[in-house]
Amino acid sequence: MTKSLDANTKKQLAARVDYYREMGIYDFYRREGGPEVPNETLAAKESPSDVAPMRAAGGGRSLFDSPLPVIQDKPAALKLIREDIGDCTRCRLHKGRNKLVFGVGNVNADLMFIGEGPGADEDAQGEPFVGRAGQLLNNMISAMGIKREDVYIANVVKCRPPGNRTPEKDECDTCSPFLMRQIDVIRPKVIVALGAVAAKNLLAVNDSMANLRGRWYEFKNSKLLVTYHPAYLLRDPRQKKEAWKDLQMAMKELGLKPPAKASTE
């Protein structure tokens, strides 16, 4: 006789399935003749990712006891996300786009920087933070004692807003699920949100930079802090000292030591 799942189990199962879908895993199968909840592995069929198996109720532990699986084949998972984005026309920002800016960097990065959206240089090159603001970000990263290649860099929206305007909420809402999937794959220890737009979209709050900065937020499996966008620091270099304080918080968390002559100039 078919035993129905209780409401809580159904809710948890739905959340798990949503998680796998966000990872790009859509097909599941169950062993014929097995218990109602499979007691070996709820396997992902033709998954590009090497996902750790989930335990099932039959083994004495709940299906949900185990932590969410860690994606092993990160490049394949990111490639799948990029393929899902495709030649995206999901929001109006596609109209002025030359190149979609997906994200760049070390897939195993402990540190991830998230900005607002591509500017003209990024739109031309298809890579985030490559213009003047990008040069300053590189300097900020060097001041932390690491290299650009050590971190992962992405934006809330992947197409350049016309005239570098701030992306609208609906544009951020449409595009950010892809960023969430990137974060789930990379699983950085620390995320630094660059500027108010990134911070407000990631944290779903509407607050001033003064209130947003200087503290840690729990975000997915990471710790998140907020600092000034490098473009803002170019306009108001006096704030570099404040940004350096934020980066030092990240360094402490990551156990990084600055090189002898650290500078964000």
User: Could you give the CA distance from residue 109 to residue 175 in angstroms, rounded to a whole number?
Assistant: 22
Which residue, 53 or 96, is less far from ligand SF4 as judged by CB? Answer: 96
Cβ of residue 208: shortest distance to ligand SF4, in angstroms? 26
**Quick one: which of 56, 80, 141, 175 contacts ligand SF4 (CB under 6 A)?**
175
Cβ of residue 218: shortest distance to ligand SF4, in angstroms? 26
Q: Binding of ligand SF4 at residue 99 (CB under 6 A)?
A: no
**Segment interacting with ligand SF4, rule: CB under 6 A, options 31-39, 82-90, 146-154, 214-222:** 82-90
DSSP symbols for 79-146: HHHHHHHSS--SSGGGGG-SS----EE-TT-SEEEEES---HHHHHHTSSS-SHHHHHHHHHHHHTT-
**Quick one: which of 42, 91, 198, 202 contacts ligand SF4 (CB under 6 A)?**
91
Q: Binding of ligand SF4 at residue 173 (CB under 6 A)?
A: no
104 DSSP β-pair partners: 153
Strands 104-105 and 152-155: antiparallel
Element (H, E) at 218: strand 217-219
Q: Binding of ligand SF4 at residue 198 (CB under 6 A)?
A: no
Q: Binding of ligand SF4 at residue 93 (CB under 6 A)?
A: yes
User: Could you give the CA distance from residue 196 to residue 194 in angstroms, rounded to a whole number?
Assistant: 7
Q: Which two tokens stand for residue 229?
A: 């966008």
The residue ranges that bind ligand SF4 (CB under 6 A) are: 85, 88-91, 93-94, 100, 157-159, 171, 174-175
